[in-house]
């Protein structure tokens, strides 16, 4: 396995499972199970034992590896330089399981869905662009920007709602955007995180070929996971495009006075998506958008920015979640934290966070107190007031 020479360097000191101030545990599977085995340090020792034939490949070993949300808290807070490779090590260990066909059934199902149907929902391709029906958004045919929506934005209700909100604002602000509709394919970010590097390479190569064929130069993504794949992984495979997450574009448009914002008196807290925040250090743009709405009060949860708690959906877990939606799942803990701020809206900037936190708010019985809304939806509501 790649990184074999690094795995043994972990001291199992445990710093990786905390926030920066060591006040809170911040590794979702550790929060759920309360055992170091489920945090990054334990994971490193397990992988080391597996590499040295101290433990055999088992269902339990595979489950522990796949419970990681790839949230990046460990990479942020481990005190050693090898921290840069922590997630790569976990990915390589999962890749070994993929190669041996020993992944948990839910993961197998997720990957199979993408391989056969092009998406984990196992829905037909022609349904991809349905969220745009009734809008003025056209298929991509040389517009300045490709608006890439992704699997969750195409097939999941909260994601479709988000795609609709972003797809409404951007043209209104004068941006020329087009979508791929039925030609769109999974970006592969989570496929890679699940260790299926071969399938990821296939998806990335097909996407890059298509983007080049139809003349895509600039991309706006709905999903931070797609943003991560397009900016970090695609360039290594020859796919160099200018890429923005939609919150960055909204921040620029508002700054350039392209979106008029009347007052909206509402108290909002913002949840940093791991693939926008910790993985890509985009913390300010979403907050700038919210703060630019006159009358909106932005309150922070105790865990924010690089100490934010994952919604629990990263690394494919929004579909494959082996840990479930119990009271101690990170999505429900996050829903309670958001509600404790007294905010009326829990603002999100990722369709996976939207799905996970919306379900968690309902499970917690907090719907009367707090509503999950994506940033574009809040901006649209402000415009309409
Ligand atoms: S991964 Fe880093 S912070 Fe975590 S236990 Fe190992 S050495 Fe300590
Ligand atoms: S990436 Fe997140 S879930 Fe995975 S081990 Fe690190 S802190 Fe835990």
DSSP for 107-134 reads HHHHHHHHHHHSSTT---GGGGGGGGTT
The conformation of residue 232, written as its DSSP 8-state character, comes to I
The CB of 68 under 6 Å from ligand 2? The reply is: yes
Q: Are residues 247 and 126 in the same domain?
A: yes
Residues 330 and 355 in one domain: yes
Which of 88, 103, 118 is the endpoint of a domain?
103
Band of the pLDDT at 322, cuts 50, 70, 90?
low
Between the CA of 26 and the centroid of ligand 2 the distance, in Å, is 8
Is it the case that residue 377 has pLDDT exceeding 90? yes
Q: Whose CA is nearest to atom 2 of ligand 1?
A: 78
Which residue's CA is the closest to the ligand 2 atom numbered 5? 40
Structure pTM? 0.97
Residues 132 and 198 in one domain: yes
CA–CA dist 116, 78 (Å, integer): 38
Domain enclosing residue 305, as ranges: 260-384
Nearest CA, atom 1, ligand 2: 70
Which of 28, 77, 321, 322 gets mutated to test ligand 2 (max ligand atoms within 8 A of its CB)? 28
Tell whether ligand 2 has an atom less than 6 A from the beta carbon of residue 78.
no
C-beta of 40 in contact with ligand 2 (< 6 A): yes
Q: What are phi and psi of 220, to 5 degrees?
A: -115, 125
Contact 156, 200 (CB under 8 A): no
Are residues 158 and 128 both part of a single domain?
A: yes
Q: Which of 216, 251, 286 is the last residue of a domain?
A: 251
Inter-residue contact 277 to 308 (CB < 8 Å): yes
Least confident of 124-133, 196-205, 265-274, 335-344: 124-133
Angle between helices 157-172 and 246-255 (to 10 degrees): 30
Ligand closest in space to the Cα of 315: 2
Which whole number is the average pLDDT over 92-97? 96
Q: Phi/psi class of residue 342: alpha, beta or left (left: φ > 0; alpha: ψ in -120 to 50)?
A: left
Q: Are residues 184 and 269 in the same domain?
A: no
Other Cβ atoms within 10 Å of 355 Cβ, number: 23
Rg (CA), the chain: 20
Do 231 and 266 lie in one domain? The reply is no
Nearest to residue 168, comparing CAs of 208, 210, 222?
222
Atom of ligand 1 nearest to the CA of 41: 5
Residue 103 in contact with ligand 2 by CB distance below 6 A:
no
User: From the CB of 72, is ligand 2 less than 6 Å away?
Assistant: yes
Whether pLDDT at 183 is above 70: yes
* Å from CA of 80 to ligand 1 middle: 7
- Residue 9: nearest ligand to its CA? 1
**173 plus 195 within the same structural domain:** yes
Residues 72 and 186 both lie in one domain: no
Q: How do residues 12-48 score in pLDDT, each as one tens digit? A: 899 999 999 999 999 999 999 999 999 999 999 999 9
Q: Give the distance (Å) from ligand 1 centre to CA of residue 2.
A: 19
| pLDDT value of residue 326 | 83
Looking at the fold, whether 122 and 244 belong to one and the same domain comes out as yes
Among the candidates 227, 251, 275, a domain finishes at 251
Q: How many whole angstroms from 86 Cα to the centroid of ligand 2?
A: 9
To test the pocket of ligand 2, the residue of 29, 279, 314, 318 to mutate (highest count of ligand atoms within 8 Å of its CB) is 29
Distance CA 113, CA 35 (A): 32
Residue with CA at minimum distance from ligand 1 atom 8: 13
Q: Which of 263, 248, 254, 269 is nearest to 373 (CA)?
A: 269
Q: Give the residues across from 372 on adjacent strands.
A: 346
Residues 91 and 114 reside in one and the same domain: no
Q: What is the CATH number of the domain that holds 321?
A: 3.40.50
Which atom belonging to ligand 2 lies closest to the Cα atom of 86?
Answer: 6
pLDDT tens digits for range 212-271: 999 999 999 999 999 999 999 999 999 999 999 999 999 999 999 999 898 899 999 999
β-bridge mates for residue 298, sequence order? 268
Whether residues 167 and 221 fall in one domain: yes
Task: Clarify whether residues 167 and 36 are in a common domain.
Answer: no
Q: CA of 217: how far to CAs of 78, 172, 242, in Å?
A: 37, 21, 6
Q: How far is CA 21 from CA 16, 278, 302, in A?
A: 12, 16, 11
Identify which of 15, 77, 79 to mutate to test ligand 1's pocket (most ligand atoms within 8 A of the CB): 15
Per DSSP, the three-state class of 2 is coil
As for how many domains the chain has, the answer is: 3
**Residues in Cβ contact with 266 at an 8 Å cutoff, skipping those fewer than 6 apart:** 295, 296, 297, 344, 345, 378
């Amino acid at each position: 396995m790649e990184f074999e020479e690094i795995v043994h360097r972990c001291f199992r000191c445990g710093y990786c499972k905390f926030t920066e101030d060591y006040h809170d545990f911040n590794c979702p599977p550790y929060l759920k199970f309360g055992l170091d085995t489920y945090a990054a340090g334990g994971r490193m020792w397990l992988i080391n034992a597996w590499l040295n034939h101290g433990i055999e490949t088992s269902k339990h070993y595979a489950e522990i590896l796949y419970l990681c949300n790839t949230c990046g808290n460990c990479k942020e807070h481990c005190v050693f330089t090898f921290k840069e490779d922590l997630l790569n090590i976990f990915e390589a260990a999962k890749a070994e399981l993929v190669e041996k066909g020993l992944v948990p059934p839910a993961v197998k199902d997720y990957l199979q869905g993408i391989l056969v149907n092009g998406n984990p929902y196992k829905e037909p391709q022609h349904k991809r662009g349905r969220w745009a029906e009734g809008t003025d958004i056209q298929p991509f045919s040389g517009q300045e920007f490709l608006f890439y929506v992704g699997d969750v934005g195409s097939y999941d209700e909260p994601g479709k709602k988000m795609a609709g909100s972003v797809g409404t604002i951007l043209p209104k602000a004068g941006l020329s955007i087009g979508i791929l509709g039925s030609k769109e394919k999974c970006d592969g970010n989570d496929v890679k995180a699940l260790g299926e590097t071969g399938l990821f390479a296939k998806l990335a190569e097909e996407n890059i070929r298509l983007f080049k064929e139809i003349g895509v130069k600039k991309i706006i993504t709905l999903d931070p996971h797609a943003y991560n794949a397009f900016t970090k992984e695609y360039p290594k495979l020859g796919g160099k495009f200018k890429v923005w997450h939609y919150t960055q574009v909204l921040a620029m448009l508002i700054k350039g006075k392209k979106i008029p914002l009347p007052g909206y008196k509402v108290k909002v807290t913002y949840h940093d998506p791991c693939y926008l925040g910790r993985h890509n250090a985009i913390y300010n743009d979403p907050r700038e958008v919210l703060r630019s709405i006159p009358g909106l009060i932005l309150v922070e949860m105790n865990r924010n920015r690089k100490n934010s708690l994952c919604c629990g959906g990263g690394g494919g877990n929004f579909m494959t979640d082996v840990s479930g939606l119990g009271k101690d799942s990170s999505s429900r803990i996050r829903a309670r934290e958001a509600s404790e701020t007294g905010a009326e809206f829990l603002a999100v900037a990722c369709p996976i966070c939207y799905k996970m936190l919306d379900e968690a708010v309902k499970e917690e019985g907090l719907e009367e107190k707090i509503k999950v809304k994506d940033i574009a939806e809040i901006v649209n509501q402000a415009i309409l007031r």
